[in-house]
Amino acid sequence: MATVRILLGFVCIAFMGSSWGAERNIIALHKVVEVAQKEIGVQEIAENSGLRVDQYNAYVGLKKVPWCASFVSWCFGQVGYSQPRTAWSPSLFPSRRIVREPVRGMVLGIYFPELKRIAHCGLVEQVKNDLIYTIEGNTNINGSREGTGVFRRLRHKRSIHRFADWTQEK
């Protein structure tokens, strides 16, 4: 009987630990969005350059490059994640990070058929049915992938090619 109680105790601890891990990831995703929200309105001074834009690119070790992925990486870095750390948007979507259903704080990737790849990314701020509210760097009010600042955008779920979760230990 004592053995059964001990085993049940281990099972309960394991179950509580696994749900705590999921809760911890949700908290981290929310913190990533909070960081991104504070950046809304940041603008380039010159093409792919400006005080804050240069900081995003410096975080990934580059200068004056398209910076949507640098912005996403920088936001995760501000919360304490060492990864992602890239300026190349396709590398934000390795198979082990892909998720089907987006939630606040996940990375989104927009596919450009003419380039045959994901060529723009951002962060999910909110999900309402099929609408995804986003925060994106290197965009503009029209949604360009070569924009001038950090903006909020509204996208339909079908327009987003991939979602990735960078808080999961995989």
Phi-psi region of 77 (alpha: psi -120 to 50; beta: other; left: phi over 0): alpha
The residue among 21 and 59 whose pLDDT is bigger is 59
pLDDT at residue 19, rounded to an integer: 41
pLDDT at 7: 40
DSSP state of 39: H
For each of the domains in the chain, give its residue range(s) and CATH number, in order of start. Answer: 2-164 (3.90.1720)
pLDDT at 170 over 70: no
Answer yes or no: is pLDDT of 14 > 80.
no
Model pLDDT for residues 93-103, shown as the tens digit of each residue: 999 999 999 99
More confident residue, 43 or 145: 43
- Bigger pLDDT: 20 vs 38: 38
Residue 65 has pLDDT above 80, yes or no: yes
Q: If we measure between CA atoms, which residue out of 142, 161, 150 comes closest to residue 125?
A: 150
Partnered with residue 126 across adjacent β-strands are 133
Q: Which residue, 85, 33, 44, is CA-closest to 66? A: 44
pLDDT in tens, 103-124: 999 999 999 999 999 999 999 9
Contact assessment for residue 107 and residue 123, using Cβ atoms and an 8 Å cutoff: yes
DSSP 19-38: HHHHHHHHHHHHHHHHHHHH
Contacts of 66 (CB under 8 A, 6+ apart): 48, 87, 138, 145, 146
Contact 74, 56 (CB under 8 A): yes
